[in-house]
Amino acid sequence: MKSLFVSFDRTMWHVVRSWMRFAVEERPPAPSKVELYAAIRRDARAGMSGPAIEKKYRVGRRTIVKALSIGVA
């Protein structure tokens, strides 16, 4: 017995594949960890809150804690 959703699955695969291509092409290159941690420390020194930093850089709380725990003189 043939599946009723074969044509739907094929159509949706093309939609998903084209969306994935768009998502990958439009994303800016990720900064290195050194640059990211430096930016997090800079914003924290400027008084930006933890949740604001999380949203700005799309990182979690643990990443912010790591960045702030690394002491750079």
Question: Residue 37 and residue 53: Cα distance in Å, rounded?
Answer: 11
Q: What are the tens digits of pLDDT across the range 46-73?
A: 999 999 999 999 999 999 999 999 866 5
Pairwise pLDDT comparison (6 vs 30), residue with the higher score: 30
3-class SS of residue 58: coil
Domain boundaries, given as residue ranges, for the chain: 6-69
Which residues are within 8 A (CB) of 9 and not within 5 positions of it... i.e. 6 or more apart?
A: 3
Identify the CA nearest to 54 among candidates 36, 28, 70.
36
Q: What is the mean pLDDT of residues 35-55?
A: 95
Question: Which stretch of 2-6, 37-41, 64-68 has the lowest confidence by average pLDDT?
Answer: 2-6
Length of the chain: 73
Question: Residue 72 and residue 43: Cα distance in Å, rounded?
Answer: 15
Q: Please report which confidence band the pLDDT of residue 30 belongs to, taking 50, 70 and 90 as the band edges.
A: confident
**pTM (2 d.p.):** 0.60
